[in-house]
Structure 1
Amino acid sequence: MKSNVGTLDRSLRIAAGLVLIGLSLSGVIGLWGLIGVVPLATGVFRFCPAYPLLGINTCKKS
């Protein structure tokens, strides 16, 4: 698994995931907020499985 999620993209994914999970756990948006696990995981592992299919790579070229 080669990383394809850049720094800004990673930060936004982690923040969005944590917000969604927090809202879900506090009961504001219900169980659908647990979908925040997906952006959180893709941010932590720096790999988005949809990016190769779409030809996207937000990592800086080395």
Structure 2
Amino acid sequence: MQANVGGFDRIARILVGLVLIALTLTGTIGVWGWIGIVPLATGALRFCPLYTVLGIKTCPMK
């Protein structure tokens, strides 16, 4: 697994994931908020399988 998520993209994914999970835990949104686990995980692992399929790479490392 080569890192393909970097910089602003990584920070945005982690923040969106945490906000969705927090909103779910507070009851503001329904169970669909648990989808926040996906952007949280892809930001933490710096790897997005969909980016690999689409040929996108936001990470400046080679």
TM-score normalised by the chain length of structure 1: 0.95
Query: CA-to-partner distance for each residue in 1:28-49, whole Å, 9 max, x for gaps?
Result: 0111000000000000000000
Residue identity over aligned pairs, in percent, reads 61
TM-score normalised by the chain length of structure 2: 0.95
**Runs of 4+ displaced beyond 2 Å:** none
Count of residue pairs brought into register by the alignment: 62
Aligned-residue Cα RMSD (Å) equals 0.8
Unaligned runs of 5+ in 1: none
Unaligned runs of 5+ in 2: none
Distance 1:29 1:61 in 2: 37
Distance 1:32 1:26 in 2: 13
